[in-house]
């Protein structure tokens, strides 16, 4: 249960997911961004948690620059793992619940038969970001009251956050042909749906590790095509392989997450990814009319 008389501290409050929690929680949220405390200085974390005495810490702050992490592994590890260890210690001291947001990237191995990954499946993170996020999960698990939520392909933070969706829209305003990878299967997920699901988990006193993503699965290529179909841009989206795209950090080829454990709450799966995308693009429509580049 979420108590109505104690604050909930949300880190990464300027980020896509953190901002969404702060909006949903209203007055109960204490949204902390980089100006409040720097996650690369874990020492400041205990002081902040002592100051606010939250019932719950939702840690959405993270080093999320997946490719840049390959050249800044120490900073990435500090923010994504050492800071989480500090939160775990602080939450234990305050008897607070620690919610740690993690990622499908912990599943970097190619499965023999692609089947949605369950929480109990063995992880195999590839790349610095993925490894640091798994270390973050392990650090969070040291908190006596913890909830670790793996999600995937977040978008929906609004036009000022350049996720895959905004990137495609910007490119779609300029070009008639794009090449987008078609050999990574996952489930891009809307921050509103993920945040609502995390709050349901907290309301039901769930603890441990959960997968939370929109329903269904797709490739980035198909996702891009659906974006352009919904907004009515005539853009040809040709396939390109992950190898050809040659990003600095490795990406999982198959990271569809099984949400059966979340569904034991009895509320069914989250909406299908096409439904979530359509809802988000509806909110962007007034801005798209002006052109995303200029907003
Ligand atoms: N984005 C995805 O596709 C995805 C997929 C799966 C899981 N996740 C996980 O979901 C969580 C939320 O992701 P998101 O997409 O909302 O990320 P985001 O938009 O990049 O937000 C992350 C926030 O963390 C803050 N931050 C970074 N370094 C910091 C520092 N040293 N001190 C204080 N704050 C710092 C950033 O602040 P600044 O704005 O000041 O840099 C940013 O506001 C993360 O744990 C991420 O690993 C994300």
pLDDT tens series, the chain, 295 aa: 888 889 999 999 999 999 999 999 999 999 999 998 899 998 889 999 999 999 999 999 999 999 999 999 999 999 999 999 999 999 999 999 999 999 999 999 888 899 999 999 999 999 999 999 999 999 999 999 999 999 999 999 998 899 999 999 999 999 999 999 999 999 999 999 999 999 999 999 999 999 999 999 999 999 999 999 999 999 999 999 999 999 999 999 999 999 999 999 998 999 999 999 999 999 998 888 777 765 5
In the structure encoding, which two tokens stand for residue 173, read together? Answer: 């305003």
Which ligand 1 atom lies nearest to the CA of residue 36? 33
User: In testing the pocket of ligand 1, which one of 34, 127, 168 has its CB within 8 Å of the most ligand atoms?
Assistant: 34
Q: Whose CA is nearest to atom 29 of ligand 1?
A: 39
Is the CB of 86 inside a 6 Å radius of any atom of ligand 1?
no
Alpha-carbon separation of residue 155 from 82, 232, 282 (angstroms): 26, 19, 14
Tell me, in angstroms, the distance from the centre of ligand 1 to residue 62's CA: 4
Going by the DSSP 8-state scheme, the letter that residue 278 receives in this structure is H
**d(C-alpha 224, C-alpha 165), whole Å:** 8
In the structure encoding, which two tokens stand for residue 102, read together? Answer: 């993690």
**d(C-alpha 179, C-alpha 274), whole Å:** 21
Is the CB of 101 inside a 6 Å radius of any atom of ligand 1?
yes
Which ligand 1 atom lies nearest to the CA of residue 38? 32
Is the CB of 45 inside a 6 Å radius of any atom of ligand 1?
no
Q: CB under 8 Å to 141, separation ≥6 — which residues?
A: 88, 148, 209
In the structure encoding, which two tokens stand for residue 130, read together? Answer: 């993925």
Tell me, in angstroms, the distance from the centre of ligand 1 to residue 112's CA: 32
Residues 52, 63, 105, 129: which is the catalytic one? 129
Q: What domains sit in the chain, N to C, each tagged with a CATH number? A: 8-157+188-216+258-271 (3.40.50.720)
- Is residue 117 within 8 Å of 211, Cβ to Cβ? yes
Residue 267: per-residue pLDDT: 86
- Is residue 149 within 8 Å of 100, Cβ to Cβ? yes
Which ligand 1 atom lies nearest to the CA of residue 161? 19
Residue 293: per-residue pLDDT: 61
Residue 86: per-residue pLDDT: 97
Is the CB of 153 inside a 6 Å radius of any atom of ligand 1?
yes
Which segments of 143-279 are extended strands (E)? 146-151, 154-155, 177-181, 185-186, 189-190, 208-211, 218-219, 236-240
| 129 part of the active site | yes
Alpha-carbon separation of residue 189 from 20, 22, 175, 244 (angstroms): 13, 18, 25, 25
């Amino acid at each position: 249960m979420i108590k109505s008389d104690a604050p909930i501290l949300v880190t990464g409050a300027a980020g896509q997911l953190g901002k969404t929690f702060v909006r949903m929680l209203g007055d109960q949220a204490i949204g902390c961004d980089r100006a409040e405390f720097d996650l690369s200085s874990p020492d400041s974390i205990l002081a902040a948690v002592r100051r606010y005495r939250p019932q719950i810490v939702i840690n959405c702050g993270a080093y999320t620059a997946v490719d840049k992490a390959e050249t800044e592994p120490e900073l990435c590890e500090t923010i994504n793992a050492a800071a989480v260890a500090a939160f775990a210690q602080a939450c234990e001291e305050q008897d607070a619940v620690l919610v740690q947001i993690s990622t499908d990237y912990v599943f970097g191995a190619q499965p023999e038969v692609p089947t949605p990954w369950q929480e109990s499946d063995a992880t195999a993170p590839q790349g610095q970001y993925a490894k640091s996020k798994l270390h973050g999960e392990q650090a969070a698990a040291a908190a006596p009251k913890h909830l670790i939520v793996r999600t995937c392909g977040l978008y929906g933070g609004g036009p000022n956050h350049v996720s895959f969706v905004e990137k495609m829209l910007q490119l779609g305003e300029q070009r008639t042909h794009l090449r987008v990878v078609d050999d990574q299967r996952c489930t891009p997920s809307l921050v509103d749906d993920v945040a609502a699901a995390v709050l349901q988990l907290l309301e039901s006193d769930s603890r441990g590790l959960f997968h939370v993503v929109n329903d269904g699965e797709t490739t980035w290529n198909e996702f891009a095509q659906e974006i352009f179909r919904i907004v009515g841009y005539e853009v040809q989206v040709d396939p390109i392989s992950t190898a050809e795209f040659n990003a600095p950090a490795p990406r999982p080829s198959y990271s569809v997450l099984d949400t059966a454990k979340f569904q034991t709450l009895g509320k069914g799966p989250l909406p299908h990814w096409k439904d979530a995308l359509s809802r988000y693009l509806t909110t962007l429509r007034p801005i798209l009319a002006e052109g995303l580049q200029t907003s």
